[in-house]
Amino acid sequence: MIDQLLKATQEERWPEAEKLLYRHWVSTAQDVYPALIKEPWNNFLDEVKIDNELIHPLAQMFCVGTPAEEEVKEEGHRNISLRKLNEIVNVEDVKSKGGICGRMFRNGEPNYSCKECATDGTCVLCYECFVNSAHINHKYKMHTSMGSGYCDCGDIEAWSNDYFCKLHIPKIKEEEEEKTENIDYNGLPSNLVNRFHHLSQITIKFAVSVLCWDRTEELPSTVDVDWIRLEDEISHTILFNDETHTYEGVIRALKLAIFVAHDKAMMIASIVDRDGRSIVQTGVRQRCSEVKQIIEDRTRKEANLRTQKTGPLLVKVFRSSLSGLQLLAIRLINWLSQQAQDCSILAQIISEVLLCLSSECNSVLTSPINTKLAKKSKIVLDCKNVCLKNMKAILYILQYFCFLIDDFGRLHVQLFIN
């Protein structure tokens, strides 16, 4: 199937390429993301397998027929970085020209906070930036990441001094402005511009469709039911962070619904608060629905003193196949975010797709989104990073609207609502 994907990409048969890629993702995700898990909140995924079998084909589609093609064919290690694409238009590697690092932390990865310079405890550095910064000689504290957050190196609002490490010292302002003006499509072949637009659109369309789907008995239009192994279908109960209920209320509901000890219930509540969601039960649909009902009944009358809101916790029962695809969608946006930071040309194209500036992508982000399902999820944080360097307007919209409106309907930027 990968050969068919690459051939369709080179020949610009985009409807066929889209269908083949979606089919590959759906069929492979069922093997990569296990359906039946005893403690689903503790599900440690095979990161290498996810990169090799799900992300790598997309990286190949971006690079096929370019000087970067050999880079992603490296023997014994499937490289999924698109940084090599910078050479096509002689754009300097983003990593070497300064700016905000923005490295996303993986679970268990160390990060460092400077006690002398950090504006608050959430301002941290990745290892690479830390050892190349002045903070290594200051009083500092090392933390272990829980799989969220990103490096704040280069963010002048995060530090009182020594804002940049040696890797991210910015160029002179005039030089930076000149480079920004020169980052356009000059020198990039039109077929590659078209390819990057289509592949970015295809990826974001898939992510939006599965992440924003809330019909428990059906699948989104991007997922053909024939690609699902229905005989193996398991249900997942997913608990969402609704910004209303307290830790104590969530912990009590979890102890009652899934029969876990206090410490495990507290850990699950922390995961939901951090990531915006967590699978709390897997199994037959009847049992998953019972867990949903117990959690809703237990939290229905609880009120948040700060917001004065009442109502049950937001809980959904989805097919395990859809639940796995949602995890894949989060990973895809995370990957796009990283590539946008590494490749300036690609960042501009992704930003245009997100803002629907092309006549061909008007429908990518127009499906209604239940923002309560997306609140504070990791996908939100990753999407913000995609446009961090290029699209200040998007960040303004995020900051202005995220606490004012619960549901944007068909607003194009609704995916980023926090």
Q: Which residue has the tokens 């699978």?
A: 279
Q: Helices 56-63 and 14-32 sit at what angle, rounded to 10 degrees?
A: 160
Average pLDDT (75-81) is 62
What CA–CA distance (Å, rounded) separates 195 from 92?
Answer: 21
Contact 282, 181 (CB under 8 A): no
Average pLDDT over residues 142-168: 87
Judged against a pLDDT cut of 80, whether residue 407 lies above it is answered with no
Residue 258: is its pLDDT beyond 50? yes
Question: pLDDT category, 394, cuts 50, 70, 90?
Answer: very low
Q: What is the DSSP letter of 223?
A: S
Q: How is the chain split into domains, by residue range?
A: 98-170, 225-323
- Per-residue model confidence (pLDDT) at position 193: 87
Residue 167: pLDDT band (50, 70, 90) is confident
Q: How confident is the model at residue 187 (pLDDT cuts 50, 70, 90)?
A: low
Strand 235-240's sheet: what is its strand order? 277-283, 235-240, 315-319
Q: Does position 155 have pLDDT exceeding 50, yes or no?
A: yes
pLDDT tier at 379, thresholds 50, 70, 90: very low
The pLDDT of residue 338 = 83
Tell me, what DSSP letter sits at residue 172? P
Q: What does 59-103 look like in DSSP terms, one character per residue?
A: HHHHHTTSTTTTGGG-TTS-----GGGGGGGTPPPGGGS-S---P
CA dist 12 and 10 (Å) reads 5
Confidence at residue 376, expressed as pLDDT on a 0 to 100 scale = 39
Retrieve residue 399's tokens. 């900051």
Mean pLDDT for the chain? Answer: 77
CATH fold for domain 98-170: Cysteine Rich Protein (2.10.110)
Percentage above 70 pLDDT, the chain: 72
| Tokens 């946006």 belong to residue | 333
Does the pLDDT at position 418 exceed 70? no
Per-residue model confidence (pLDDT) at position 378 = 43
How large is the average pLDDT for residues 308-317?
A: 80
Q: What is the largest CA-CA distance in the chain?
A: 63
Mean pLDDT for 49-70 is 85
The reported pTM is 0.67
- The H or E element containing residue 228 is none
Q: Say whether pLDDT at 7 is over 70.
A: yes
Give CA–CA dist 36/186, Å, rounded: 50
Query: Do the Cβ atoms of 276 and 375 come closer than 8 Å?
Result: yes
Angle between helices 14-32 and 190-211 in degrees, nearest 10: 40
CATH class as words, domain 225-323: alpha beta
What pLDDT, on a 0 to 100 scale, did the predictor assign at position 171? 60
Bridge partners of 277, per DSSP, are 240
Give 89-140 pLDDT, tens digit per residue: 655 544 445 568 888 888 788 999 999 999 988 899 999 899 999 999 999 9
Give the per-residue pLDDT at 260: 92
368: how many CB neighbours lie within 10 A of its CB?
13
